């Protein structure tokens, strides 16, 4: 492993005797690539984890391209990666069939008090969970390399950014983190000797005995833990090598831990895309939008406008961190450096900019492999290939019963490869937000677009968000579930308190608060067909929102919010069915009881207003 990079060029100041006294046998001296950890707290943590996990060697990642290429070649040599002939610098891989998505039933928020985790999170007493995890992590990296990955979530030098350090035994994680975060030497420079960082510990949980051959995708099919300790700001993940279960800077740090920091420090960590919209006159505004996974976030973030003079540029497709600036307005950064997009359904018809972004330097996981060295998935082309290798490694033809690509298969691509990446992507100050959008996948009830009456009403709409389940999480696809703010799987504390945090942020923002909207691209007519074409045509909705922010767009009040006036679309898209909405109110009333005393009084008042308006419709 990494023979050219593991030759130590500087002596390492490690307290070897202290650590060896806690292990059953001496460890090999750690190897480093011309870097040394000068942060005492970080050094002590690395020593502690090395002693617990007993890897064969330890490697501190520099974040260089040479290092990335070497890691990827190692994965090719071990059969995990297949180099793609038709996409320079790109690779295909497939996971264990048990390791393909988030495992929410094995994801824990271990706050000191159970009520602080709330009814939507799994909880365990922190001390008890640590004991369980220490037992699992003991010796778990035997026969493997322990990688130390310093990384920055957000542009270097931004006051909105946060530093994390992940320890992992998965080279797949190292290869993906190189794309998804700003990792390596510069992150350590920012950290200095006393900066704050979030410790992120991960292992696939499969130690190797001497001479034992590694599995193609190591994981623990029935023994997974993705654990967050909010007060300690720590993340421990065991047994999974896939996606956000293993790339701990993503959902674990950027949402679950960051949401707690945001609550405590009066800022917002949200499951939101960020786009810049420029009108024909050259005026530009920025919007953020929250949609559950696989509900069109990436497509909207990279929307190609068919409207002359209107331009959409992408700052981020998944996560937004927002703080209040000196001028009292809300400013957002994208803490990520890449896209971890859902592949199925992505095509030159649905998202040409995404297709251009993944032409090179991309890692494809659980898609299908063509015989001529390319990738394919359902919806990518009108006609499938005659034959290929599916995501399970089997030969596949159009006559096969199973899909060629897993529904949650992914691409990991550098954000800067997107043709419409916004110049503000690296802006350390972030971008000023004019509007906030929420949206789910609903076949009925919810109109195409609603503007809230106020920030409190907008918070109510966000809390009311529900959507048909997709393949991004284990569960019954198509079933309707509540997903407040598209944060149901990602809020790191009691969601009732999270609603309260939104209300508090609105009060702080006051007159500078962005407008709030609710969208639904997926409403169907009586014939079962979609009423709205979606994709590029969504620019018409963004245009109306832009005009409303400018004080120009016309709207008409309805019981559920302000609807567009004279909007060119089927009337059925905006129909308000009184009985359907009364059923919605009843269901919401039952759902909100989950949060008991943590449900804000202001939210209860908004629910009563909503019930009254619907009843008088």
Across 32-41, 285-294, 311-320, 465-474, the highest mean pLDDT is recorded for 311-320
User: What average pLDDT score do residues 474-490 get?
Assistant: 80
pLDDT at residue 29 in the model: 40
Choose between 483 and 19: higher pLDDT: 483
**Residues 463 and 484 sit within 8 Å (Cβ to Cβ):** yes
Q: Considering only CA atoms, which of 104, 108, 225, 123 is closest in space to residue 469?
A: 104
User: What average pLDDT score do residues 221-232 get?
Assistant: 96
pLDDT tens-digit map of 546-592: 999 999 999 999 999 999 999 999 999 999 999 999 999 999 999 99
pLDDT band at residue 6 under the 50/70/90 scheme = very low
Whether residue 93 lies in the annotated active site: no
Instruction: List residues forming the annotated binding site.
Output: 102, 242-244, 251, 271, 293-299, 318, 408-410, 441, 535-538
> Is the pLDDT score of 23 beyond 70?
no
pLDDT band at residue 470 under the 50/70/90 scheme = low
pLDDT at residue 4 in the model: 34
User: What average pLDDT score do residues 326-354 get?
Assistant: 96
**Residues 265 and 318 sit within 8 Å (Cβ to Cβ):** no
pLDDT at residue 328 in the model: 98
Tell me which residue has tokens 């009563």: 608
Tell whether domain 268-338+421-615 is in CATH 3.90.228.20.
yes
β-strand pairing of 162-168 with 388-389: unpaired
98-102, 210-214, 377-381, 523-527: least confident range:
210-214
The answer for residues whose C-beta is within 8 angstroms of residue 54's C-beta and 6 or more apart is: 23, 24, 27, 138, 139, 141, 142
pLDDT at residue 76 in the model: 97
Instruction: List residues forming the annotated binding site for Mn(2+).
Output: 251, 271, 318
> Is the pLDDT score of 11 beyond 70?
no
Concatenated DSSP letters of 285-301: EEEEEE--TTSSHHHHH
pLDDT tens-digit map of 77-121: 999 999 999 999 999 999 999 999 999 999 999 999 999 999 999
pLDDT tens-digit map of 181-195: 999 999 999 999 999
The Cα 215–Cα 488 span in angstroms is 34
The structural architecture, per CATH, of the domain 342-414 is Beta Complex (2.170)
pLDDT band at residue 480 under the 50/70/90 scheme = confident
What 3-state DSSP class applies to 600? Answer: coil
Is the alpha carbon torsion for 322, 353, 243, 428 positive or negative? negative
User: What average pLDDT score do residues 8-33 get?
Assistant: 33
What 3-state DSSP class applies to 614? Answer: helix
The Cα 164–Cα 7 span in angstroms is 25
**Residues 340 and 250 sit within 8 Å (Cβ to Cβ):** yes
pLDDT band at residue 617 under the 50/70/90 scheme = confident
The answer for residues whose C-beta is within 8 angstroms of residue 439's C-beta and 6 or more apart is: 289, 290, 291, 295, 296, 465, 518, 519, 520, 521
pLDDT band at residue 476 under the 50/70/90 scheme = low
* DSSP assignment letter at 237: E
The two structure tokens encoding residue 100 = 């393909």
> Is the pLDDT score of 176 beyond 50?
yes
Domain boundaries, the chain: 16-81+102-265, 268-338+421-615, 342-414
Cα dist. 269→199, 218, 255, 364, 528 in Å? Answer: 18, 32, 6, 27, 37
| Residue 433: Cβ within 10 Å count | 24
pLDDT tens-digit map of 66-75: 999 999 999 9
Catalytic residue among 295, 314, 418, 491: 295
Concatenated DSSP letters of 369-435: EETTS-EE-TTSSSS--SSEE-TTS-EE-TT-SS-SS-TT-EEEEEGGGSTTB-GGGG-TT-EEEEE
CATH code at 16-81+102-265:
3.40.449.10
Instruction: List residues forming the annotated binding site for substrate.
Output: 102, 242-244, 293, 408-410
The Cα 388–Cα 405 span in angstroms is 11
Cα dist. 261→245, 466, 588 in Å? Answer: 20, 26, 28
User: What average pLDDT score do residues 600-604 get?
Assistant: 98
Rg (CA), the chain: 24
């Amino acid at each position: 492993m990494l023979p050219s990079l593991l030759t130590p060029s500087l002596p390492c100041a490690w307290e070897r005797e202290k650590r060896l006294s806690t292990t059953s046998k001496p460890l090999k001296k750690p190897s480093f690539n011309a870097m040394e950890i000068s942060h005492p707290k970080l050094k002590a943590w690395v020593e502690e984890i090395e002693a617990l996990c007993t890897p064969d060697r330890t490697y501190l990642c520099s974040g260089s391209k040479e290092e990335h290429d070497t890691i990827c070649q190692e994965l090719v040599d071990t059969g995990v990666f297949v180099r793609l002939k038709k996409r320079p610098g790109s690779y295909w891989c497939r996971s264990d069939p048990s390791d393909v998505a988030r495992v929410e039933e094995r994801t824990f928020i271990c706050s000191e008090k159970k009520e602080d985790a709330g009814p939507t999170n799994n909880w365990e007493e922190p001390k008890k969970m640590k004991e369980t995890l220490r037992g699992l992590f003991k010796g778990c990296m035997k026969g493997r390399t322990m990688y130390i990955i310093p990384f920055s979530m957000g542009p270097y030098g931004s006051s909105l950014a946060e530093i994390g350090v992940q320890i992992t035994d998965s080279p797949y994680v190292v290869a993906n983190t190189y794309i998804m975060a700003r990792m390596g030497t510069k992150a350590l420079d920012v950290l200095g000797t006393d900066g704050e960082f979030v410790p992120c510990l991960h292992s696939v949980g499969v130690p190797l005995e001497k001479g034992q051959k590694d599995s193609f995708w190591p994981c623990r099919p029935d023994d997974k833990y993705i654990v967050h300790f909010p007060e300690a700001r720590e993340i421990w993940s065991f047994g999974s090598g896939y996606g956000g279960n293993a790339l701990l800077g993503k959902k674990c740090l950027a949402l679950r831990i960051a949401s707690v920091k945001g609550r405590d420090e009066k800022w917002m960590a949200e499951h939101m895309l960020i786009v810049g919209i420029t009108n024909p006159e050259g005026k530009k505004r920025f919007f953020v939008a929250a949609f559950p996974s696989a509900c069109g976030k990436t497509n909207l973030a990279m929307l190609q406008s068919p409207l002359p003079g209107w331009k959409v540029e992408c700052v981020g497709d998944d996560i937004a961190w927002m703080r209040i600036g000196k001028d009292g307005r809300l400013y957002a950064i994208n803490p990520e450096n890449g896209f971890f997009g859902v592949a199925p359904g992505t095509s030159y018809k649905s998202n040409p900019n995404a297709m251009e972004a993944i032409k090179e330097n991309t890692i494809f996981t659980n898609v299908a492999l063509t015989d001529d060295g390319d990738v394919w998935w359902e919806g990518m082309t009108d006609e499938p290939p005659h034959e290929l290798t599916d995501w399970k490694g089997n030969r596949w033809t159009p006559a096969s019963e199973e899909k060629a690509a897993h529904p949650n298969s992914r691409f990991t691509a550098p954000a800067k490869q997107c043709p419409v990446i916004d110049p503000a992507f690296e802006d350390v100050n972030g971008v000023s937000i004019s509007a906030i959008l929420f949206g789910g996948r609903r076949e009925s009830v919810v109109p195409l677009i609603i503007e809230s009456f106020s920030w409190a009403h907008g918070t109510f709409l966000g809390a009311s968000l529900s959507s048909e389940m997709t393949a991004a999480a284990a569960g019954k696809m198509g079933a309707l579930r509540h997903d407040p703010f598209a944060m149901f799987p990602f809020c790191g504390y009691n969601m009732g308190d999270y609603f309260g945090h939104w209300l508090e942020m609105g009060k702080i923002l006051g007159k500078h608060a962005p407008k709030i909207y609710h969208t639904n691209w997926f409403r169907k007519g009586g014939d079962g067909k979609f009423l709205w074409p979606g994709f590029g045509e969504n620019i018409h909705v963004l245009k109306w929102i832009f005009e409303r922010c400018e004080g120009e767009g016309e709207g008409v009040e309805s019981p559920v919010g302000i609807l567009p006036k004279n909007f060119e679309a089927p009337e059925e898209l905006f129909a308000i069915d009184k009985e359907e909405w009364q059923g919605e109110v009843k269901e919401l009333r039952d759902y909100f009881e989950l949060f008991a005393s943590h449900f804000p009084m202001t939210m209860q008042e908004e629910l009563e207003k909503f019930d009254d308006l619907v009843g008088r419709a």
